[in-house]
Amino acid sequence: MARVLQKYGGTSLQSTERIRLIADRAIREQENGSQLVIVVSAMGDTTNQLVQLASEVSSCTAGRELDLLLSTGEQISSSLLALAIQERGREAIALTGAQAGLETEEVHGDARITDVNTAKIREELNAGKIVLVAGFQGCAKNQEICTLGRGGSDTTAAALAAALQADRCEIFTDVDGVYSADPRYVLGARKHERLNYTHLLTLAETGAEVVHPRAVAYAQDHQIPLVVRSSFHEQEGTKIQHDSGIAFPVVGVTFQKGLSYFQWRGKIEEEELLAGLADVNSLVGNVQVSNGHTDLIIKEEHGSEMSAWLNENKHKLGINSIQHAEGMTAVHLVFADLDEKRRLAPLLNEKELVPSGDVYRINCAPDAWSVVVPEEYAVEVAQRIHDWFMGLESKKASIAL
Ligand code: ADP
Ligand code: ASP
Ligand code: MG
């Protein structure tokens, strides 16, 4: 009997009507002979609304009560979906992350999964039930509910798929697969039929929010076949497996908004610099030193803290003329591999691709070519880079692709 893990995102669960349609779909999958576990996100914009509610009574941005609050969004979805399936005469059970056996570190707001105890889920599957799991949450050893960071239901799904040795993990969303760029912003983006894990991981790590990078890493580590597909129709999505090559030298264009850029004359050892950064994860790409200048890109929420630290310590550090720009976006061109990057990146003409505004080159991922530009130009730059590589295809012969 095939064991299938499905995950439905918030856009797929906008309304009770959508929940009823997903209940029908789940029953069809079970009738095909599958044991089915479904991980759900919060309905529509619920998580943002809960964050907003919290902000009306508190300035706290992460902590136990906030996690308790945010975890309810997913619990509403799983309960409603279980009720809808039961209404159709089938057995179903809704579980919170803790009930489903997801153990996390004791970190509020961005916890990692440390262990998965699947005993309860296996028992319910063996009793013939469809199991609905609230995504984005788990329970730490100290019994506290911890959430997994925004987009974390993908991670729940991949972790459960790995622990249950599922035959496949299907991520249902509002697009019908992984595209060469976010189709909401870039015209002419095209769908990949197949990708390998490394390709999707680089896309996800450089900002393609279609699947959370931790979910891709789980699937890769445990060799779980992933499928990204639409919950709105039956079309096949993008299949992700370790041996799926792509026919084209470029995987896609991604962007990461909300960055702060710093540049100064002089050199600081990376370790020394990281001491000024409360959260090391906020560093985007490498600290770059060239021609006596240092470039640093970090997430904007840590920009003022970094700026204060640099200014306080500049004499001690022996640096001066610190430039600081907020509201920056990194645009990345992800190549199929390092060889393709070495071959094709020299053909990129920065002046043509970034016609206006300040532009900074950075190194973010080995297989990506990246620039940082003011946010207002980002979509145009992404479109130009995308047009550039789509143009390559038609010029295949002349550049010997
Ligand atoms: P869900 O609610 O299902 O988790 P998300 O909003 O997190 O959905 O992810 C789906 C969105 O990801 C799409 O609507 C699309 O705009 C965006 N996206 C970004 N990059 C890509 C890409 N390369 N391919 C497909 N979708 C992408
Ligand atoms: N509901 C959470 C969020 O909006 C988790 C998820 O959707 O995956 O980020
Ligand atoms: Mg998502």
Residue-level pLDDT at 399: 46
C-alpha–C-alpha distance, residues 5 and 27, integer Å:
14
Same domain, 282 and 228: no
Chain centroid offset of residue 282 CA: 15
Poorest-pLDDT segment among 66-70, 75-79, 132-136, 311-315: 311-315
**Max CA separation in the chain (angstroms):** 73
Same domain, 271 and 210: no
Q: Which of 208, 351, 237, 284 is nearest to 7 (CA)?
A: 237
Residue-level pLDDT at 352: 81
Positive/negative CA dihedral, 239, 243, 246, 249: positive
Cβ–ligand 2 contact at 153 (below 6 Å)? yes
Residue bearing the bigger pLDDT, 281 or 221: 221
Residue bearing the bigger pLDDT, 316 or 71: 71
Same domain, 219 and 290: no
Same domain, 125 and 150: yes
Q: What is the mean pLDDT of residues 30-40?
A: 97
* Range of the structural domain that residue 379 is part of: 251-400
Same domain, 201 and 262: no
Same domain, 271 and 157: no
Q: Which of 103, 227, 82, 207 is nearest to 156 (CA)?
A: 103
Same domain, 75 and 7: yes
Same domain, 40 and 92: yes
Same domain, 242 and 264: no
Residue-level pLDDT at 364: 82
Per-residue model confidence as pLDDT tens digits over 100-109: 999 999 999 9
Residue bearing the bigger pLDDT, 182 or 358: 182
Mutate to test the pocket of ligand 2, among 40, 69, 74 (most ligand atoms within 8 A of CB): 74
Geometric angle at alpha carbon 42, from 41 and 47, rounded to 5°: 120
CATH classification of the domain holding 67: 3.40.1160.10
Distances in Å between the Cα of 118 and the Cα atoms of 37, 162, 230 are: 11, 10, 27
Same domain, 227 and 308: no
Per-residue model confidence as pLDDT tens digits over 239-256: 998 876 777 889 999 999
Residue bearing the bigger pLDDT, 127 or 363: 127
Same domain, 236 and 271: no
- The string of DSSP codes covering 308-339 is HHHHHHHHHHT-EEEEEEEEEEEEEEEESSHH
Cβ–ligand 2 contact at 370 (below 6 Å)? no
Q: What is the mean pLDDT of residues 372-388?
A: 93
Q: What is the mean pLDDT of residues 150-162?
A: 98
Residue bearing the bigger pLDDT, 395 or 262: 262
Q: Which ligand neighbours the alpha carbon of 11 most closely?
A: 1
Q: Which of 293, 255, 269, 283 is nearest to 376 (CA)?
A: 255
The domain total for the chain is: 2
| b (16+ CB within 10 A) / e for 172-211 | bbebbbbbbbbbeebeebebbebbbbbbbbbbbbbbbebb
Last residue of a domain, one of 246, 264, 293: 246
CATH classification of the domain holding 336: 3.30.2130.10
Evaluate if pTM is beyond 0.85: yes
Same domain, 257 and 191: no
Instruction: Find the 158 Cα to ligand 3 centroid distance in Å.
Output: 13
Query: Is the distance from CB of 353 to CB of 326 less than 8 angstroms?
Result: no
Last residue of a domain, one of 197, 224, 246: 246
**The pLDDT of residue 342 is above 70:** yes
pLDDT interval class at 157 (50, 70, 90): very high
Last residue of a domain, one of 194, 217, 246: 246
**The pLDDT of residue 132 is above 70:** yes
Helix axis angle for 46-57 and 64-87, nearest 10°, is: 150
